[in-house]
Amino acid sequence: MEKQISESTREYRRIPLIGDKMPSFEAETTQGTIKFPEAYRGHWTILFSHPADFTPVCTTEFHAFQTRMESFKKLNTKLIGLSMDQVFSHLEWLEWIHKNLDIKIEFPVIADHSGEIAKKLGMLHPNAGKSTVRAVFVLDPKGIIRTLLYYPGELGRNLEEIHRIVKGLQLADLKKVALPANWPKNEIIGSKVLIPPAKSKQEAEKNKEGNECKDWWFCYKSV
């Protein structure tokens, strides 16, 4: 029995990691069948799972995602949801949101009723119930996983943080910099960005040119 439990747990925990290519799969959604992540190439993508339709925390999250959809579009970022409900359940729930909260959900929602996609992506955590946890995958335009977040069922996600993650990753890629804690409101350097630590004496000296430094390994600048 112990061996069976161990093997079952490993099955759930075979998940893609940061820096990995997102596994490819075909799925039914509220907007038709898609091939993921191929259909989203060229865009940043936020794939997020929710435990179930017609639940209060999930409803507030969908409202929050849709409210910020234009902000995500400005970052060339698309949204796609997922749960283990059927397509008809998704559609009825989205209609309820439209009628009762006066907002239309415009992004597709995957109907993973078999649970195969959730298992493949590590969205099912055996000790957290039988539904998907609140997983968030942030993918870059090449389909590479850049961020993974997991929230328990009882805690709704912070959408401002997810938006900050995408904006920060894009800036880091563009400027080849790193971002401090609580960016862009860091307690030490404010909205400035960090120069990656030097790997040689020559590089350390170069980092000091035109930048502010606390030490040779702690240099920063405005962007």
Looking at residue 201, what is its pLDDT? 85
Looking at residue 120, what is its pLDDT? 94
Looking at residue 14, what is its pLDDT? 62
The model's pLDDT over 61-82, given as tens digits with 9 standing for 90+, comes to 999 999 999 999 999 999 999 9
* DSSP secondary structure string for all residues of 48-116: EE-S-SS-HHHHHHHHHHHHTHHHHHHTTEEEEEEESS-HHHHHHHHHHHHHHHS----S-EEE-TT-H
Nearest CA among 189, 135, 186 for reference residue 157: 135
User: What pTM, to 2 d.p., does this model score?
Assistant: 0.90
Active site residue 219: no
Low-confidence ranges of the chain (pLDDT < 50): 1-13
52 vs 31: CA distance, rounded Å = 18
* Cβ-contact 53, 93 below 8 angstroms: yes
Domains parsed from the chain with CATH numbers: 2-158 (3.40.30.10), 176-223 (3.30.1020.10)
- Interacting residues of 80 by C-beta distance below 8 A, sequence separation 6+: 29, 36, 40, 45, 46, 47, 48, 107, 108, 109, 110
* Residue of 15, 22, 27, 58 marked catalytic: 58
Looking at residue 12, what is its pLDDT? 44
How many Cβ atoms sit within 10 Å of the Cβ of residue 157? 19
